[in-house]
Amino acid sequence: MSRRPPGRSARGSGYFWWWICLAGGVLQAASVAWPFPGWSLPGMSAGQPSGFWQIVSLSMLVLALQYATRVGQAAWRGWVFSTAWLSGTFWWLFISLHTYGGLPAWLAVVAVLTLAGLLSIYYAVAVGLLCSWAPVSRTAQALLFASLWTLAELARGHWFTGFPWGAGGYAQVDLMAPWAPLVGVYGMGFLAAILAYALASLISGLWRRVSTWMLSPVSRPVGRTAVGSRMAAPGPRVQARVVPGLTDGWWGLARTCLLLLAVAALLMSMLAGGQAWRTLGHRGTTGAGELRVWLLQGNIPQDQKFEPGTGIAQALSWYPQQIGLAVDAARANTATGPQLVVAPETAIPLLPDQLGAEFWKPLLGSLADQPVGGVSTLVGLPLGSLEEGYTNSVWGLNPETAAKERDRVDVPGALGSGIYRYDKNHLVPFGEFIPPLFRWFTDLMNIPLGDFNRGGLAQPSWPVAGQRLAPNICFEDLFGEELAASFGSAATAPTVLINLSNIAWFGDSVAIDQHLQISRLRAIELGRPMLRATNTGATAVIDHNGVVTHQLERLTRGRLEATVQGRNGITPYAQWTARWGLMPMWVGCLVLVLVIASLRSLGRRGGRTRRR
């Protein structure tokens, strides 16, 4: 990427940069949520993100690219970095494949590494194009790197159903929070890539200056030879520029000043922005009243969840019991009792018709025997039939609908026709649908898999206690542009987001912490509180600023009682994403790439490429 002609690298340098890329990728994975509770790097703590270390880790890749002499070498380094990053991010897939799926350990490891390696091709192509089209100008290189890297992130997040888990922007949920309601996670990743390039260029520039000084001849004072003639001391072989651009004329000086000002402004926005800046993205949102909630966490082990004598029995007993207690608490004190109870994804692990009237009549009866405006509940469960197909769904029950449904429990197939229903739209590959040509792989696992039907995009919100509730299931909150599709109109946009998940598939791993950070960023982007009801964690309440105000201890059975404030209005990110999706991000990055690639001779002088 230095525009130097290909040549033979110093012996052993390839191994050195391989280790740099490997270490940088692992650090990139850890920056989204630090996985080690016993020790941490400075400024990090267990389960928390670090925008600073994410920038540092990405700058390690940029350094390796700046010392690459061939396009293939650069692509290889990008692939190593990305494979280490992605496998270090979602290594916990091994738990679901081996512990619960029954795959041999070696095959589960191969599957995780294969997935990471395939997804890393996006980034390898991106850095290969970067080094093939690299302009001489460092400013243009920084913009080209950020654009290509963001395009790779977008491709990973959307092509072939998309799996953007662990995108670099999630590590910036704290450091770049003011940018989230303006440009979203991919825009934050773009800005972080520019800073990473600037940091790498600063390090490499300083190293070259030091190397030049160390290798330059020792200066000797002017003296006289034996015959009396003057002899000048030899000068340095390379004239190092202290500030790039000062010898490039006015255009070079202006370009350098613009780059320095942009980097300085970006740093100021992260570290020293005032209250007006930090609330700029949420300026168009206002409070929509309070909602008292109970969030349920059953902590039913995944290997028991679908077993009739253990997990199913526990679920069918504990969750209805909690709903009954909520009804009693609301009757006892309408001012402090809960208005909404949320049970997690597949809290009821059977189809409604499999349960029968002996289960539904007591549950519906307790909800129906309330005054209007009493406790409502959201419950995750599977729906459908063999003929129509199945869906991963949520039912919303309030006193009015519960009373109507109670009267038709005994009618076969009639239950649920009047109940609010949300069907999962973005399905999990291999878990909820089987990609073509991969049936052989799923047949190796002992997991209840199937091909589920998709729900529609932008499904209606559910009105409860003056709020408009928008459920999403499992990793659907990973796709901010899909949640934003419901924000086309301020009058109908949801006021509260609710995520129902079951992360028990991945044990007590960093997946719990990573998912919490994802939900935090969605809350900031859309300017809405996010309620999380999960089986094993993290069950939490997140306000519209991304602050976790309440959280239940993971891997425990209990309920989280909290009061949350809904929000009206639409953030800039929600506004442009609801209208155009992520197309502006795609187009903007592509335009930058095409313009810079076509003008990559920028910085040449006298028809000769200068070494930068």
The residue assigned the tokens 């499999």 is: 354
Residue with tokens 């049970």: 343
Q: Enter the DSSP assignment of 454.
A: P
Q: Report whether 330 contacts 337 (CB < 8 A).
A: yes
Exposure string of 496-506, with b = 16+ CB inside 10 Å and e = fewer, is bbbbbbbbbbb
Strands (DSSP E) along 254-357, which ranges? Answer: 286-297, 340-342
DSSP notation for 80-103: HHHHHHHHHHSTTHHIIIIIIT--
**Catalytic residue selected from 305, 405, 432, 474:** 474
H or E element at residue 324: helix 313-332
| 35, 446, 562, 592 from 474: Cα distances, Å | 21, 21, 21, 35
Residue 361 appears among annotated catalytic residues: no
Catalytic hit among 424, 432, 476, 481: 424
Sheet with 376-385: list strands edge to edge: 420-423, 389-397, 376-385, 340-342, 286-297, 558-568
Q: Is 474 a catalytic residue?
A: yes
Residue 507 half-sphere exposure toward CB, CA atoms < 13 A = 13
Cα 591 from chain centroid (whole Å): 25
What are the CA-CA distances from residue 269 to residues 101, 190, 197, 229, 276 (Å)?
46, 15, 18, 61, 11
Both tokens of 574, joined, read: 């929600």
Cis amide prior to 538 (ω within 30 degrees)? yes
Angle CA 310–316–318, to nearest 5: 90
> Measured in Å, how far apart are the chain's first and last C-alpha atoms?
9
β-bridge pairing 420-423 and 389-397: antiparallel
- Dihedrals phi, psi of 389, to nearest 5 degrees: 95, 165
Q: Amino acid identity, residue 318?
A: W
The three-state DSSP-derived secondary structure of 333-359 is: CCCCCCCEEECCCCCCCCCHHHHCHHH
d(CA 173, CA 141): 26
Of 153, 345, 481, 525, the active-site residue reads 345
Angstrom distance (rounded) from CA 99 to CA 376: 36
Active site residues: 345, 424, 474
